Structure 1
Amino acid sequence: MILSYGVANLLQSVAAARTTVHHTFDPGLLLRLAGHRTYLVGLLCQFVGFTLAFLARRDLPLFLVQASVAAGLGVTALLGVLLLQWRLPRAEVALLVLLFGGIAALVLAAEPAPARQLGTAARIALLGALGVVAAAGVFAVRLHGALGSVVLGSLAGMSFSAAAVAARPLASVGTVMAFVADPLLYLLVAHSVVGQLLLGLAMQRGSTTAAVAAMDAAGAVPAAIVGLLLLGDRIWPGREWLAGIGFLVTLIAVIGLTRYAEPQHQHAVAERWRRLRSRRPAARPDRRRDRTVRP
């Protein structure tokens, strides 16, 4: 799951950078992104990661699964360095190491257990959250630069967090008919689509690392709280301190990445390339072809 999400983040960011920047909350962006083969491959990787995460939520607490999704950011950064010549400052490298340390602590603290089912009030709350996030996205899409990237990424994280909350009890449904008839399935799909649109808009405006880190930071806390309070998520007895430290370290790392992430946007690279080409001296005409026949 971590590897799949890391590759998906990288490929989708490249496709988003090659698409005209949108200043409205227009679902047509997803259709335009789908015109890029790179985005489709990234979307396939994200679907694989989503499926693996869905299966993991059947037995693992949300504070572990959602924090592990954040670890995909480390894979994205590593692939960016190797393939796209990204430059990561030392502070960001240290934060990535801290991120994986926090995930390791959560793995040791989490106790597998099936989820409790959500009541009617909780399902209505998930529906209301969908409207709130979408409405906030309409206004946040007007923001530009790093601020727009972080705000839109945070809204995407909230939407994906709600999708994770819906997925945890849905993964325990026993039959196909009950699975298809469960309203949580459609809430899961709706939140995922809105989150995908917000993430695409965030990646168009600034650093990929900042957008994904903001998404992970905003998505981890609500899902963890709901999981512990309503879904029956468990921690091994005596390891509560380890879970608390691991979650805090992971959260600090992803928030820190939003502060230290350098602009790695492909539009900036293209602009630098255009300027370099404009500085080149004009090509000299070929005198052999321009010769005039004199009498």
Structure 2
Amino acid sequence: MVCALGAAVCFGTATVLQAIAAREASDGSAPGGSSPGGEAALLLRAMRQWRYLAGLALDGVGFLLQIAALRSLPIYAVGAALAASLAVTAVVAARLLQVRLSQVEWGAVGVVCAGLAMLGLASGTEGDRAGSLTLKYVMLGTAVGVLLLGAVAGRLPERGRALALGLGAGFGFGVVEVAVRLIDDLGVGSLLTNPATYALLLGGGAAFLLLTSALQRGSVTTATAGLVIGETIGPALVGVVWLGDRTREGLGWLAILGFAVAVAGALALARFGEAPEAAEAEAVA
């Protein structure tokens, strides 16, 4: 659980650091918000700043902590903890980006913490079932399906596009969570012949593409809400049904309640899925 919470802190803080770098890089934009050289030039300027590089480093550390957590905790606990990175982003953004949190949002931060505390008390160890070859191919097929979903969702009307792309990104990150559990041998030969390896790479890459598209082409709040739902509920069910994830004896009800509370709190903070947008909205207000 310490690793899972550490990953949430890393991801949430990285979002804010990268937001600050992006805002400073855009200072040279032309009137009207356009950037000389386009988005690529803006990204290059951001990558020259230590905050952006620090954010990337935190993302890397967070991913390693996520893997460590998934090797010893049920998927449902790790997924809820990762969703809590939105609470970290909200708190750090309030400090560094001068984003004002409403009383409801501060309450949502407290709700997330309460849900994670309940999960921490109720979570058992990871399931002892080995993933079948069929499940590994199902994860690979799901990763391919995420790419196809992205192609279809990008053509939807604006109203449903962000939600569909966000859900697709959540499914992709969910594939990563499950695939980590399905890789039990880190030898080069085993990795190359394990379908879960390709599911992890394809699912993660597709998720990043879909999430980027969702945040650029639709509502940040809607896309992030879809992301949280997609990356928590599905993987949690796979862990319980197929991998044997369980709770401590007699505390199943507390785990379900904690999971629901943590995810609900994260959804209430969905506007912090992209910190620059949150800051801009506050500035306009």
Q: Same fold (TM over 0.5)?
A: yes
Matches within 5 A, 1:235-250: 235-250=247-262
Residue identity matched to 2:78: V
C-alpha spacing 1:87/1:80, structure 2 compared with 1 (3 Å): same
The answer to whether the aligner puts 1:10 opposite 2:16 as a matched pair is yes
Preserved contact between residue 57 and residue 168 of structure 1 (Cα < 8 Å): yes
Corresponding position of 2:133: 120
Preserved contact between residue 203 and residue 211 of structure 1 (Cα < 8 Å): yes
Preserved contact between residue 140 and residue 196 of structure 2 (Cα < 8 Å): no
C-alpha spacing 1:207/1:15, structure 2 compared with 1 (3 Å): farther
Q: 5+ residue gaps in structure 2?
A: 1-6, 30-38
TM-superposed deviation, 1:98: 0.6
C-alpha spacing 1:181/1:55, structure 2 compared with 1 (3 Å): farther
- Aligned partners of 2:95 and 2:279: how far apart in 1? 19
Preserved contact between residue 149 and residue 202 of structure 1 (Cα < 8 Å): yes
The answer to whether the aligner puts 1:60 opposite 2:73 as a matched pair is yes
Preserved contact between residue 206 and residue 265 of structure 1 (Cα < 8 Å): no
- Aligned partners of 1:246 and 1:266: how far apart in 2? 27
Q: Secondary structure at the match of 1:234?
A: coil
Percent identical:
33
- Aligned partners of 1:62 and 1:162: how far apart in 2? 11
Q: 5+ residue gaps in structure 1?
A: 21-28, 273-295
TM-superposed deviation, 1:175: 4.2
Corresponding position of 2:265: 253
TM-superposed deviation, 1:10: 2.8
- Aligned partners of 1:145 and 1:97: how far apart in 2? 33
- Identify, as 1 or 2, the structure richer in helix: 2
* Deviation larger for 51-60 or 122-131: 122-131
- Aligned partners of 1:71 and 1:89: how far apart in 2? 18
TM-superposed deviation, 1:63: 0.5
* 1:262-292 CA distance string (max 9 Å, x none): 99517957x96xxxxxxxxxxxxxxxxxxxx
- Aligned partners of 1:7 and 1:224: how far apart in 2? 25
- Aligned partners of 2:134 and 2:106: how far apart in 1? 43
Correspondence for 1:166 among 179, 183, 188: 179
The answer to whether the aligner puts 1:77 opposite 2:90 as a matched pair is yes
The answer to whether the aligner puts 1:227 opposite 2:239 as a matched pair is yes
- Aligned partners of 1:30 and 1:233: how far apart in 2? 43
Q: Secondary structure at the match of 2:56?
A: helix
Q: Secondary structure at the match of 1:241?
A: helix
Corresponding position of 2:169: 156
Report how many residues are paired: 263
* 1:107-155 CA distance string (max 9 Å, x none): 1111113542222322222122122221222233356878654443322
* Deviation larger for 8-17 or 236-245: 8-17
Correspondence for 2:210 among 190, 193, 198: 198
TM score, norm. by length of structure 2: 0.77
TM-superposed deviation, 1:213: 4.4
Q: Secondary structure at the match of 1:59?
A: coil
C-alpha spacing 1:32/1:150, structure 2 compared with 1 (3 Å): farther
- Aligned partners of 1:10 and 1:93: how far apart in 2? 17
TM score, norm. by length of structure 1: 0.75
Preserved contact between residue 165 and residue 227 of structure 1 (Cα < 8 Å): yes
C-alpha spacing 1:266/1:76, structure 2 compared with 1 (3 Å): closer
Preserved contact between residue 116 and residue 169 of structure 1 (Cα < 8 Å): no
